[in-house]
């Protein structure tokens, strides 16, 4: 569950010189309501249209890019090539790992940072300060494995 609230987002937008317009608020509310999903811009647009019929797809894209630039959302591209968005759940931390089922397309998040030692090794050996990383494991989820056995 995201620890961001609409007020946090409003405050961050204002600090960066943006307003939380009704269209942006409708987009953010979808992300807050569905914070356990990884939605594409098109999926978000379809859901936002139900709350704000006047909104355009370009507005949703611009809002998502602003939120991503401000590190309020996380943009990930999976095997299907679509950019998907979700709210940053751990502000100030960069871990964000995923399990992607290649059969049903389900995407699960791993909350723990499993790469601390790898990052330290990279910093020591290469003098490279890691600021972010993404890790996606592709495989077959439990449900699809069970369906295979039946």
Report the relative pairing of strands 97-101 and 135-139 from DSSP bridges: parallel
What does the alpha-carbon distance between residue 100 and residue 107 come to, in Å, rounded to a whole number?
5
Fold of 1-91: Arc Repressor Mutant, subunit A (1.10.10)
- Would 1-91 and 93-150 be classified into the same CATH topology? no
Binding-site entries for Zn(2+): 101, 104, 141, 144
Q: How many CA atoms lie within 13 A of 119 on its CB side?
A: 13
105 or 93, which is more confident? 105
What does the alpha-carbon distance between residue 71 and residue 73 come to, in Å, rounded to a whole number?
5
Residues facing residue 98 across a β-bridge: 109, 136
For residue 104, pLDDT beyond 80: yes
Binding-site entries: 94, 101, 104, 133, 141, 144
* pTM as predicted: 0.69
Burial class (CB within 10 angstroms; exposed 0-12, middle 13-18, buried 19+) of 60: buried
Calculate mean pLDDT across residues 132-145.
Answer: 83
Kindly report, residue by residue over 52-98, the tens digit of the pLDDT: 999 999 999 999 999 999 988 888 887 778 888 988 765 545 556 77
CATH superfamily, domain 93-150, is Ferric-uptake regulator, C-terminal dimerisarion domain (3.30.1490.190)
What are the boundaries of each domain within the chain?
Answer: 1-91, 93-150
Binding-site entries for Fe cation: 94, 133
Residue 94 confidence (pLDDT): 54
């Amino acid at each position: 569950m995201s620890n961001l609230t609409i007020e946090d987002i409003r405050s961050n937008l204002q600090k960066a010189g943006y307003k939380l317009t009704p269209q942006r608020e409708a987009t953010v509310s979808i992300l807050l309501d569905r914070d356990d999903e990884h939605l594409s811009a098109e999926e978000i647009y379809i859901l936002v249209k139900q709350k704000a019929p006047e909104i355009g797809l370009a507005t949703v894209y611009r809002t998502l890019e602003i939120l991503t630039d401000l590190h309020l959302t996380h943009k990930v591209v999976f095997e299907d090539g679509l950019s998907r968005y979700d709210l940053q759940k751990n502000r100030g931390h960069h871990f964000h790992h995923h399990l992607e089922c290649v059969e049903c397309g389900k995407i699960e998040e791993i909350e723990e940072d499993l790469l601390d030692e790898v990052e330290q090794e990279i910093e020591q050996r290469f003098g490279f300060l890691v600021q972010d990383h993404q890790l996606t494991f592709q495989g077959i989820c439990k449900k699809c494995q069970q369906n295979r056995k039946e």
